[in-house]
Amino acid sequence: MSSLRRITALVACALAPLAAIAASSALGSGASHTVTATERDFAISLPHVIPAGTVDIRVTNRGPDQHELIAVRAAKGALPLRHDGLTVSEEALAKAEVGALEPGKPGETRDLKVILTPGRYVFFCNMSGHFMAGMHTTVVVK
Ligand SMILES: [Cu+2]
């Protein structure tokens, strides 16, 4: 190995960990982690506290209906409803939405990847009547 090649190899080895650190810090707090969620008629279970960062949410729908999952950042209080009085106004919450899954079949497991900064979030299903029936849960991200 020539000395130039050796130096190039040494520099590459020295920089690789720095590149990895830069990549992870660009995503917020660094490591991504996985949490599990369960949906059923008519409830959503998720941990009440989730660490900030990139989060993979593994969502299993235990049915018997199809269910969707929408995540919004919400400081406090009730979410705005549409005029039908049965569904949440996703239009009013567009800027607060951090992620969403379309309706999934009973028995299906799906992944929702979100980047969560510290704060309060509400996860809900907005299929007609499901939110009002109890398909929502509040999560604090720390
Ligand atoms: Cu639902």
Q: What is the pLDDT of residues 70-117, one digit of tens each?
A: 999 998 888 999 999 999 999 999 999 999 999 999 999 999 999 999
pLDDT at 77: 81
> Mapping DSSP to helix (H, G, I), strand (E, B) and coil, where does residue 42 land?
coil
Q: Residue 3, CB half-sphere, CA atoms under 13 Å: how many?
A: 0
Mean pLDDT of 10-31: 49
CA of 42 to the centre of ligand 1 (A): 6
CA of 61 to the centre of ligand 1 (A): 9
CA of 64 to the centre of ligand 1 (A): 10
CA of 134 to the centre of ligand 1 (A): 9
Task: Give the whole-number percent of the chain exceeding pLDDT 70.
Answer: 79
C-beta separation of 89 from 113 below 8 A: no
Mean pLDDT of 41-59: 97
CA of 135 to the centre of ligand 1 (A): 6
pLDDT at 2: 52
